[in-house]
Chain A
Amino acid sequence: MSLLKRFFLTSLVPLLLIVSPCLAEPTDISPLLAELKLAASETATLSSSFVQEKHLSIFSEKLLSQGRFIYQKPDWLRWELLTPAASGFVLLGEKGERWNGLSREKERFSIETDPIMGTIAQQLLAWARVDIDWLQQRYRMELQTSEPVSLRLYPLDPGEASFIDYLQILFADDRRHVAEVLMVEKEGDSTLLRFSNVEINIELSPDAFETPVF
């Protein structure tokens, strides 16, 4: 009993004293979110390269891949991996086409009939558009750092929450786009995306949303 009491007094009480102010007065991030929303509202097109770093339990090593990401307002996307295996998809509104460079196959999809692609498309569009309203509907947000802005997002949807622990989004210094996304799964696997060479509101090439020719 005395051991328990000592533990309570020496460890838990100080911890509670530190944490309780945070619980009592959570940081109001609304102004910051409004600022992010305003900064991203002028984005009509976005083009960037990215590096993806996956830490998966089923792989003995981390998986590194590179690719490019293109967005055009309101809902066109191109997500393309260039290494180690060429693959990706384009999305034009509700319909899209994905390809696999390895099998040299293409496949059309609709976000209506392919719920996984629907969720992925919504996620990517939300990051590209910095769609704060959508993110607020889907996630509980916590501010990690304000310079640069880093938000941690906890899924509200039970289905998503069953395999996603949280998302951590790091914004660029000018707050106009997302610089990094970290997704941590319940099982401990994680995926980190680092966006670089980000160009905003540039004129996109005509074939930006066309699938490769095999």
Chain B
Amino acid sequence: MTAAFLLIPAIRGARRNLGKRSPKVLAALAIGGVLFALALYLGLYKFLEYIARAPMLGPIFGPMVGSLLASKFLEMLFLSLFFMILFSSLIAGFSAFYLDDEIRLLVSTPVRATHIFWSRFVLMVVESSWMVVAFFTPIFFAFATALKAPFWAYFVFPVYLGMFLLLPNILGGVAALGLASFFPIRQMRKVCQFLSAMVLATMIIFFRFLEPEKLLNPKYFSSVSNYILNLKNPAMEYFPSTWIHQASLTLFEGNMSESLSAILPVFFSMLLGLALLHLLAKYFYLASWQASLEAVENQVLGLEWIRRALILPMRFFAEDFRVVAVKEITVFLRDPAIFSQIFMMAAIVFVYGYNLTIIPLKDLPSLYSGEISDSMVFFNGPFIGFILAALGMRFVYPSISLEGRAFWAVKASPIQPSRLLKVKFFLYLVPTLFLGFGLCFISNRIFQVSNGLLYWLSFLNVGLMALVITALAIGLGALYARFDADNPLKIAGSFGGFVFMVLSAVYVMNLLVLESYPLFRLYFIRFYPLTQASGKILVLLSFFLLLVCTVLWVYIPLSQGKEAIERYEPD
């Protein structure tokens, strides 16, 4: 029996899951995905083409510095990709090697431990890498096109990328095996989740403090030669991201032989890593798996005071609302993985806030400064929407699935499952609104919004987005519920999570389109006062349509989710 044979159930399961989806939805998503990839590819290609010329540096230094800048961005991308997959594989590794129930069955069969390990390793690689690869592929192809790569480079590059991606996965696998051999895995997993989130968040913050936008601003150069030298130096010379960066650059330039010699360190590191992993698996996997069974989590975790404080106001609500809310808060706070996620989200919010503070609004021409500053509020809306959607995907969307197999208790009780949906909707709406309004308040202070109407309109926008995003998360969470999954990350990264993100983006677009006319009139009200009746009617009509659309965006997903949850029949 080989490791490949052991993958058959996972492959069949994935095919079965895909087969359950309506072909129309699948086709719509496939088209949407291709369009998104195309937009990403073309947008980045245009950007890179511009960067490669760097016209702000003049006709002589521009192209020279520009190509170095594009190359530097590529290097940064490989570095980010390496770390993202390393952390992702570390968490996926613990789950794939130790925590899946299926392993118990496999270990009791005559299958060799190394075969079990390698089959789990493949699952780990897929889980940790598929989404990142799907997102990064059009980006890399944009680089290839911008650097005028020959057609065959597009076929060779995926091979390079595959080898490169195996490296962080091998490292993640080695780390998971090593840590599990010395520590009780069930506790280690939490520790590592927390640590990896912390390191990753530090990286994001560190990256932001490097202020890459300064690379494009001549004001910061002390001397051009120093700058060029700085750009030419790789960030880390003996690191896989530098190797693949060099190999890719030469590949895109059409220099195959040089490219092959540059990729050799990646290839040999991969072989060495696989051999090391095999040895570790052979001698440590079974023993560490057996040790992992011994650690039991049996204590009520800390932070009880936060839980008690949060559930205190619930006593003023109806009994069924109270118990569902208390259960939700308790389960949420007792899941240790939640803290690493909260930490990550806090880092995203921090980076967002920091980015706002470095926008050079002070340097704007004085005549239009008020309008430009005010218009930032309009463009800031989608960013807040994106943050709310990202949080919604991670914390709100999985909440229905996380009822898990215990959901029978609700189905067998007199309470209607749709009531559960309503309680969750209102429960999650409150923090979503709080966060949205908080971000809106801070950004309005930073932008020093001068127009009072616009100021309050930004709050209305955020309120509407919070309402729709929560409704989408709860409704789609019920429609695409996976009661068999216990990992919120897995639930969020599933098909339904993807649909949620796409629809959230579509709503934000919908909101922007419908508000564009009223806001256009508002910005330029001091030049073109709103006196004509037709203009006023159009403004009113836009807001009326926005309200109607928002009601539909809230009602449709919630009613679909309600039907799905009523229809759902637990195993």
Is the A/B pair a real complex?
no
> Which B residues are closer than 8 A to A by beta carbons?
none
